[in-house]
Amino acid sequence: MTVATVTKSNKSAKGTITLNGSKSIANRALIIRALCMQDFPIHKLSNSKDTVLMDSLLKSHSDIRDAGAAGTTFRFMTAYLSMQQGTQVLTGTERMKQRPIGVLVDALRKLGAKIDYLEKEGYPPLKIHSPDPDSYRGGHSNQLTISAGTSSQYISALLMIAPTLPNGLELILEGEIVSRPYIEMTLNLMAHFSVLHQWDGNTIKVSNQKYQPRPFTVEADWSGASYFYAIAAFADEVDLQLDGLFEESVQGDSVLVEMMEHFGIQSTFNETGVKLTKVDKDLPPVFEWDFIKCPDLAQTIAVICGGLGVQGLFTGLKTLRIKETDRIAALQTELAKVQVYLSALPKRFSPKSDKEYFMVDGKAVVDSNPNFPTYEDHRMAMAFAPLAQLGQINVEEPEVVGKSYPMFWKDINKLGFEIS
């Protein structure tokens, strides 16, 4: 097992970082290019492991395609392959085989897909055959109802293949919509390539249309930016430029700008990205946020609250249990090592709401060289790394960051972090 010792001799955050491209945007652009049936350039494509893998799988002619630990890649490839000719097996890691896929498979079967489970019902690996010929002749209904409370990736996967279906798709989202900005991101990218939609209430309609090839530039990743905002939050002096971010972003995680104002971090956009500075203000006694639209920020903000001793009141964490790991359980275990506690609040806290609330309590004490496992989860490694400003820490399996941000350790080294 590899272990990285991470230290920082001062609490200054000064420099310029060019952030990696968003894998969420890049993976959608790659699927659309494959559906476009005509090549076009994608500039600043993410070099994340997930995106490199997606590109490779789309170009592969193998009968067995391994998506590894990449959940987005697996879900998007399931929808893409379900409407292609031939038979392929789509598989992944042991953890991937524990992540449900049944909601998406059931939906695709209604559209004419022929998909078999090779092991446990409702879970990978899958054997995906050529679709029912009727699906090409418009013999299947174009109306689907899908739970909106599971994963937005299922919805995005269906939407991207929608214009290629003979009758298009009328997608009815049932219940509370999880991670709505990711659905909006998908639709915005589809619109960039000339595919239009109608979204009325809980129904999204996409007619049969053709994607039009156009050059595309991938925006930097706001989730990746969050770790530098955390570094800024723990620093005494901040003059930090993050290049590649857009002020008018399609990413839901761009709400980070608003969030971090509560912790005294000011964002000023310029020609190449955003400049972070620190303003003198009192920290809030309680930071309250609903993460339903930005779940990938929850780990970072939990660590920020703990590091600063700000009580956090979080809701909208329901999808965190089915990510690369159970992120709620992982946060509870690891934060406790620095005397910070993440606890589920009893239902009586909000008796009139279906929302589940969690509280972050305590101020981090980093004085015993804590060892943080990463649970095969890139975000656990990057969310906890900024704590090294408060004392030396160890991060297990640090290479896990390659999933979304291969240059992470080199980039924080530019800001004075030492990794050995």
Q: How confident is the model over 189-247, as pLDDT tens digits? A: 999 999 999 999 999 999 999 999 999 999 999 999 999 999 999 999 999 999 999 99
Decide if pLDDT at 129 tops 90: yes
Q: How confident is the model over 54-72, as pLDDT tens digits? A: 999 999 999 999 999 888 9
Q: How confident is the model over 78-109, as pLDDT tens digits? A: 999 999 999 999 999 998 999 999 999 999 99
Decide if pLDDT at 7 tops 70: yes
DSSP string, 209-233: -------EEPPBPHHHHHHHHHHHH
Q: Which of 276, 226, 224 is nearest to 20 (CA)?
A: 224
Amino acid 178: pLDDT: 76
pLDDT band at 139 (very low <50, low <70, confident <90, very high): low
- State the average pLDDT for the chain: 93
Residue type, position 318, single letter: K
Q: List phi, psi (to 5°) of 158.
A: -70, -40
Amino acid 264: pLDDT: 97
Q: Which of 158, 164, 165 is nearest to 193 (CA)?
A: 164
Region 129-139: mean pLDDT is 74
Q: Give start-end residues of each CATH 3.65.10.10 domain in the chain.
A: 3-21+219-419, 23-217
Q: How confident is the model over 312-329, as pLDDT tens digits? A: 999 999 878 777 789 999
pLDDT band at 349 (very low <50, low <70, confident <90, very high): low
User: In degrees, to the nearest 5, what angle opens at C-alpha 49 toward C-alphas 43 and 52?
Assistant: 45
What's the rounded Cα separation, in Å, for the pair 314 and 145? 29
Amino acid 98: pLDDT: 92
What's the rounded Cα separation, in Å, for the pair 42 and 215? 6
Diameter of the chain by CA atoms? Answer: 66
In b/e form, how buried is each residue of 310-323, taking b as 16+ CB within 10 angstroms?
bbbbbbbbbbbeeb
Decide if pLDDT at 135 tops 70: no
Decide if pLDDT at 409 tops 60: yes
Region 343-351: mean pLDDT is 76
Topology (CATH) of 23-217: UDP-n-acetylglucosamine1-carboxyvinyl-transferase; Chain (3.65.10)
Decide if pLDDT at 137 tops 60: no
Amino acid 324: pLDDT: 74
Decide if pLDDT at 347 tops 80: no
Q: Which CATH superfamily is domain 3-21+219-419 in?
A: Enolpyruvate transferase domain (3.65.10.10)
Amino acid 351: pLDDT: 59
Decide if pLDDT at 348 tops 90: no
What's the rounded Cα separation, in Å, for the pair 169 and 24? 22
Decide if pLDDT at 353 tops 80: no
User: In degrees, to the nearest 5, what angle opens at C-alpha 103 toward C-alphas 170 and 212?
Assistant: 45
Amino acid 138: pLDDT: 64
Amino acid 141: pLDDT: 67
- Active-site positions? 296
Is residue 393 classed as helix, strand or coil in its secondary structure? strand
DSSP state, residue 252: G
CB 145 within 8 A of CB 168: no
β pairing state of 64-66 and 3-8: unpaired
Region 152-160: mean pLDDT is 95
What separation, in Å, do the N-terminal and C-terminal C-alpha atoms of the chain show? 14
Q: Is this model's pTM higher than 0.95 or not?
A: no
What's the rounded Cα separation, in Å, for the pair 102 and 122? 4
Region 365-392: mean pLDDT is 96
Region 180-191: mean pLDDT is 94
